[in-house]
Amino acid sequence: MNSVLVTGGAGFLGSHLCDRLIEQGKNVICVDNFFTGNKRNIAHLIGHPRFEVIRHDIVHPIYLEVNEIYNLACPASPVAYQYNPIKTIKTSTVGMVNVLGLAKRCRAKVLHASTSEVYGDPNVHPQVEEYWGNVNPLGPRSCYDEGKRIAESLCVNYHHAHNVPIRIVRIFNTYGPRMDPNDGRVISNFINQALRGEPITIYGDGQQTRSFCYVDDLISGFLKMMEQEETTGPVNIGNPVENTMLELAEAVLQNVDSDSKLAYEPLPQDDPKQRCPDITKAKTILKWEPRVSLQEGLGKTVEYYRQLMNQESA
C-alpha cells in the first residue's frame, strides 16, 4: 500500500493536496496541530477508508510508516507566522529535522514546500532558482524567510549525507477556496472587504506586484514534482503573470460587483516591491504551467467566501 504523509494537511494547501492524493488511490495520513489548519477543510474526508488524521505538532517527533512525505507544516501568512515567531522558526528547523529523520528511517521520499519568501525583496526579476535572495535576517518577516531557507539547507544536507530523496518547490502567491479569510493575505483581504462593502486597503502606492497561482494548478505542480526523478529542486511553482495591487483590487471589485473605495496605508517593513517566478524549470522538467486565469480563480474564491459569510450570518 502506498502511504503518504501530509504535514499541515488540514491547512489551505494541505487539504487540497489530501483530496488529490485520495483521488489517486493513495492512503493519506494528515498530520496537523490546527494552529492555522481548520477541521472544516478536511471534514468531507473524515470517515474515508484511506484517510487518517492525527493532531500532532512536528516540532515533536512522530513515528509512522510511510512511502512519501509532503511537508507543508508551517504558518504561511504574516499574521500567523508573526504571532509566535519563535514557534515559526522551530517548525522550519526542529520540525524539519523530525520530518527528515522520519524519512530517513522509512526511506521515504520528501517533498518540502518552500516559498518565494526565500528571495526576500528581490534584486533579480523575475526570480530564478539560482538567485540567492535579498533577505533581512533581523526583520519582522525573518522568522518565516530564514526558517524556510534553513529548511531547504536541511533537506539538501540530509539528501547528501543520508541519501534521503528530496524534492523542493518554492511556492509563489497561491489563492483559492479554503484560504483562511482572516489570514491577512492580499486576496483574502480584498475579497472580504469588497463583500462587506468596506474600503479596499492598498499599501504604498499600489504599484508593487505579485503573481497569483490558483490552488488547483499549484497542487498539480506538487504532484508532478514528486513523481519526476530528474531534479531535487528547488523548482519555482507559481504564475508568471504579474499584477499590481491596483489591478488586483479592480479585478476583485469586478468579480464581487462592489462599489468599495480604495484606502491607502503605508507600506509594511520589508514588503517586497516585486514578486514573480521564472518557471522555465517547471515548464521543461515538470511539463507544468498554470492554466486557471485570475478572473476564473477569483470567481471560485469569491463564491467560497460568500458561502462562509452566509453560514456565519445564518
> What residues are annotated to the active site?
144
Q: Which amino acid is present at 149?
A: R
Cell representation of residue 25: 488511490
What is the distance between the alpha carbons of residues 62 and 77, in angstroms, rounded to a whole number?
25
Q: Is 114 helix (H, G, I), strand (E, B) or coil?
A: strand
What is the distance between the alpha carbons of residues 98 and 112, in angstroms, rounded to a whole number?
13
Element (H, E) at 70: strand 68-71
Cα 27 to chain centroid distance, Å, stands at 22
Asked if residue 37 lies in contact with residue 14, where contact means CB atoms within 8 angstroms, the answer is yes
Could you give the angle at the alpha carbon of 183 between the alpha carbons of 181 and 186, nearest 5°?
Answer: 85
Residue 131: count of CB within 10 angstroms of its CB: 16
